[in-house]
C-alpha cells in the first residue's frame, strides 16, 4: 500500500508542469508556443530569460528528488525507490496537467539521480557543462549525459544500498528514453539548425 501511495505521489510530483505554470503566471507566456515548444527548463530559459530558466530547472529537479527521498524516509528501499524515481520522470514527460505531454525528462532525472546516485550525477553535471561550453548545444549536453548515465552507473560503486543490476537497467531505460525524447533536437543537430546556447 505504501508503495502504491508513493507511486501516485511520484507521478503527481513529476507531472507538475513548472515551466508552463511559471511562464503563464509570471509572464503571461505559454512556453509551449515559443522556442523549441518544449515545456522544460531550457526552453523556459530561452523564452522567459535566465531567472525563470534557473527557477524552472531547480523546481523540475526538486520534483524528481523529492519522491524517492520522501519514500526513503518512510522505509522504502532498493528497487522500489528506482520505480518511484522512474514514475516521477514519466510523470514529467506524460503530465496529466498537459494532456499527457511534457518535457524531455532531463531536469527531473537530474533530481531523481542526485538522490539515488549522487557521485554519478555530479560527474554527469561536469560532462554536461563541458559539452555545452564546447559545443553551445544544451541538447547535445543532455544527449551525451543520457548516454553516459548507464555507463558511469555500471562502473561507479552503488550508493543508497541499491542493487547494481536493476539500477543499471533503470539507467539504460531512462537514458534511451531521454535520447528518444530529443529526436527533434537530433534532427536539428544533424541539419546544423539546432538552437545554440547564448548567455543572456
Ligand atoms: O533538457 C532539454 C534540452 O536538452 C533541450 O531542450 O528546449 O532545446 O529542446 P530544447
Please report how many Cα atoms fall inside a 13 Å half-sphere around the Cα of residue 41, on the Cβ side. 23
Residue 200 clears pLDDT 90, i.e. is over it? no
Q: Which of 42, 53, 125, 178 to mutate to test the pocket of ligand 1 (most atoms within 8 A of CB)?
A: 42
Q: What pLDDT is attached to residue 120? A: 97
* DSSP structure class, residue 157: P
Domain assignment of residue 198, yes or no: no
Domain assignment of residue 183, yes or no: yes
Q: Which residue has the cell 530547472?
A: 57
Give mean pLDDT, residues 16-43.
97
What is the reported pTM? 0.95
Instruction: Look at ligand 1, atom 6, and give the residue with the nearest C-alpha.
Output: 42
Give mean pLDDT, residues 111-119.
97
Give mean pLDDT, residues 154-170.
93
Q: Which of 40, 59, 135, 142 to mutate to test the pocket of ligand 1 (most atoms within 8 A of CB)?
A: 40
Give mean pLDDT, residues 65-94.
97
State the residue range of the domain holding 142.
1-191
Q: How many domains does the chain have?
A: 1
Domain assignment of residue 199, yes or no: no
Domain assignment of residue 77, yes or no: yes
Domain assignment of residue 20, yes or no: yes
Instruction: Look at ligand 1, atom 7, and give the residue with the nearest C-alpha.
Output: 43
Q: What pLDDT is attached to residue 198? A: 82
- Which pLDDT band, with edges at 50, 70 and 90, does 148 fall under? very high
Burial class (CB within 10 angstroms; exposed 0-12, middle 13-18, buried 19+) of 161: exposed
- Give the ligand 1 atom nearest the CA of 139: 4
Dist. CA 112 → ligand 1 center (Å): 18
Kindly list the protein residues whose Cβ atom lies closer than 6 A to any atom of ligand 1.
36, 38, 40, 42-43, 104, 106, 138-139, 142, 185, 195
Domain assignment of residue 197, yes or no: no
Domain assignment of residue 65, yes or no: yes
| Residue 21 to residue 72: CA distance in whole angstroms | 29
For the chain, what percent of residues have pLDDT higher than 90? 96
Amino acid at each position: 500500500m505504501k508503495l502504491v501511495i508513493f507511486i501516485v505521489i511520484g507521478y503527481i510530483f513529476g507531472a507538475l508542469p513548472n515551466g508552463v505554470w511559471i511562464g503563464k503566471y509570471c509572464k503571461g507566456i505559454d512556453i509551449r508556443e515559443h522556442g523549441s515548444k518544449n515545456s522544460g527548463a531550457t526552453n523556459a530559459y530561452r523564452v522567459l530569460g535566465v531567472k525563470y530558466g534557473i527557477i524552472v530547472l531547480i523546481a523540475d529537479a526538486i520534483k524528481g528528488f523529492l519522491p524517492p527521498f520522501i519514500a526513503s524516509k518512510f522505509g522504502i528501499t532498493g528497487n522500489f525507490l528506482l520505480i518511484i524515481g522512474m514514475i516521477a520522470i514519466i510523470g514529467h514527460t506524460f503530465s496529466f496537467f498537459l494532456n499527457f505531454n511534457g518535457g524531455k525528462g532531463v531536469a527531473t532525472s537530474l533530481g531523481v539521480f542526485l538522490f539515488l546516485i549522487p557521485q554519478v550525477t555530479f560527474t554527469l553535471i561536469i560532462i554536461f557543462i563541458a559539452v555545452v561550453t564546447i559545443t553551445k548545444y544544451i541538447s547535445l549536453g543532455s544527449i551525451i549525459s543520457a548516454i553516459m548515465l548507464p555507463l558511469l552507473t555500471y562502473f561507479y560503486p552503488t550508493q543508497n544500498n541499491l542493487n547494481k543490476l536493476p539500477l543499471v537497467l533503470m539507467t539504460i531505460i531512462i537514458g534511451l528514453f531521454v535520447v528518444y525524447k530529443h529526436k527533434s533536437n537530433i534532427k536539428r543537430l544533424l541539419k546544423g539548425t539546432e538552437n545554440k546556447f547564448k548567455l543572456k
